[in-house]
Amino acid sequence: MQRLLLTLSVVLVAATLSCLTAVGVAAPALAEGTVAKDARLGGDRLRTRFVTDLSKPVAFNVFTLAEPYRVIIDLPDVKFQLPAGLGRKGRGLVTAYRYGLIGPGRARIVIDVNAPVLVDKSFVLKPQNGQPARLVIDLIRTDRSTFIAGLEKRRSRQAAVKPKRKSSTPQVRLPSAKSSRGRRSKPVIVVDPGHGGIDPGAISKTGVSEKTIVFNFAKALYRALKATGRYKVVLTRRIDIYVPLRERVAIARREAGDLFISIHADSLPRRSAKGVSGATVYTLSEKASDNEAKALAAKENRSDIIAGVDLPKEADEVTNILIDLAQRETKNLSIAFANTVLKSLRGTTPLNKKPHRFAGFAVLKAPDVPSVLVELGYLSNRADEKLMVSRSWRKKVAVAMTKAVDSYFSKRIARVPF
Ligand SMILES: [Zn+2]
């Protein structure tokens, strides 16, 4: 109740300030079982309306973000049953939008806009005259300085409401992963299915999304690793939900992971996709091995932007030096594991022409957990896509990867007893 009052008071403050970033709350309603069934855009490049049909009214919160310009609508546990492909085509000020879960019981719609905008109106209509309940957001074009002023106002209001911000950044507790490894019996393998929820990742021409392919593969790998009885296996997500990149890193460290394996599937635009196929294993490096790897890391690192996360800027030089030291050993182990994976995958699934590459992937930045990112293949390549959706392929590749894990630890155990 207190939280509700707090939310309402924020709304009142917002209303009295006639804020540049609008906040709205509709009539209170039980959120359980709310379904979004359709959505549409109307208007032009000066004023654009976004409407989504709901099975019943819900409370919502709407705000804007910059770099790039976005409008974020936070909702309770809304299930999206929108027609496939909706949101990929824009209109007026909107270039595209996406939707999905961003946390337990928390859904979100992220609208990409092609210019700075103001949320002119935002409200929920009750069902009437045979029409369903509707969430309506009216966007109008503004200039950048008005937009940025609105952002600053919202941030300072938030800082006043939330006195203590709990950071999920793992970097300050550097020794955690190693010190808690201690005398335990089984190595911990953290398997990280990329993307999820509001962030679909790459999408193939036939409409298959990366988040589904990598989730199915991660489950197969989880089962194969578990079946050996030799490992504790942790998944960074167990359902179709968005997990921020730094949270994935934090999970690896909290669990004192001995290995972190992030699973992805790449896709290239048509002009560069011809003839490019096969699996690639990536390790962390500030300097990318090549331009393609650099572009891929930039694309994968956009996950938080896609999900509408407002990233705090942080630069702690001391922390960076500590991380640099810890990462030297971690880096060597990551490279050793990447080579072992490639050796094991060769002959099991097609490999890319240059199968080991490096770049600055945010998800590989746990300073004391050896980490690799595996791109299983290319969704822009028909043959790769066919393999990646096949259950028997998944099983075969998961077993090969498990062999690589076995081989990595047998070497490690021989040298450094656990
Ligand atoms: Zn990906």
| Cα(302) to centroid(ligand 1), Å | 10
Residue 414: the pLDDT is 53
Residue 319: the pLDDT is 59
pTM attached to this predicted model: 0.77
> Topology of 176-415 in CATH?
Aminopeptidase (3.40.630)
Residue 226: the pLDDT is 97
> 3-state class of 340 per DSSP?
helix
| Cα(9) to centroid(ligand 1), Å | 40
| Cα(127) to centroid(ligand 1), Å | 39
Residue 181: the pLDDT is 64
| Cα(346) to centroid(ligand 1), Å | 22
| Cα(267) to centroid(ligand 1), Å | 9
Q: How far, in Å, CA of 220 to CA of 237, rounded? A: 14
| Cα(380) to centroid(ligand 1), Å | 13
- What's the start-to-end Cα distance of the chain, in Å? 50
Q: How far, in Å, CA of 392 to CA of 349, rounded? A: 12
Residue 196: the pLDDT is 95
Residue 172: the pLDDT is 40
Q: How far, in Å, CA of 400 to CA of 23, rounded? A: 51
| Cα(386) to centroid(ligand 1), Å | 18
| Cα(266) to centroid(ligand 1), Å | 6
Q: Please give the backbone phi and psi of residue 82, each rounded to the nearest 5 degrees, phi first.
A: -90, 150
Fold match, 2-156 / 176-415: no
| Cα(214) to centroid(ligand 1), Å | 8
Looking at the domain that runs over 2-156, which CATH code has it been given?
2.60.40.3500
Residue 251: the pLDDT is 96
Pairing relationship of beta strands 70-75 and 61-65 according to DSSP bridges: antiparallel
| Cα(32) to centroid(ligand 1), Å | 31
| Cα(262) to centroid(ligand 1), Å | 9
| Cα(194) to centroid(ligand 1), Å | 6
Q: At what angle do helices 391-415 and 317-345 cross, to 10 degrees?
A: 120
Residue 16: the pLDDT is 33
| Cα(271) to centroid(ligand 1), Å | 20
Residue 274: the pLDDT is 86
Residue 289: the pLDDT is 92
DSSP letters, 256-272, are T-SEEEEEEEE---HHH
Q: At what angle do helices 210-227 and 391-415 cross, to 10 degrees?
A: 50
Residue 361: the pLDDT is 92
| Cα(376) to centroid(ligand 1), Å | 10
| Cα(272) to centroid(ligand 1), Å | 18
Check if the beta carbon of residue 119 is closer than 8 Å to that of residue 64: yes
Q: How far, in Å, CA of 210 to CA of 334, rounded? A: 24
Q: At what angle do helices 2-16 and 144-161 cross, to 10 degrees?
A: 150
Q: Of 254, 224, 231, which is closest to residue 184 (Cα–Cα)?
A: 231
| Cα(278) to centroid(ligand 1), Å | 15
Per residue of the chain (418 residues), what is the pLDDT tens digit? Answer: 444 433 433 333 333 333 333 334 444 444 458 999 999 999 999 999 999 999 999 999 999 998 899 999 999 989 999 998 889 899 999 999 999 988 888 999 999 999 999 999 999 999 999 999 999 999 999 999 999 988 888 877 777 765 544 444 444 444 455 555 655 679 999 999 999 999 999 999 898 999 999 999 999 999 999 999 999 999 999 999 999 998 999 999 999 999 999 999 999 988 888 889 999 999 999 889 999 899 999 988 888 888 887 665 544 555 566 667 677 889 999 999 999 999 999 999 999 999 999 999 999 988 899 999 999 999 999 999 999 999 999 999 999 999 999 999 988 765 444 3
| Cα(87) to centroid(ligand 1), Å | 19
Q: How far, in Å, CA of 355 to CA of 278, rounded? A: 8
Q: Of 361, 365, 392, which is closest to residue 375 (Cα–Cα)?
A: 361
**Ion ligand 1 — residues with CB < 5 Å:** 194, 201, 264, 300
- Domain map of the chain by residue range? 2-156, 176-415
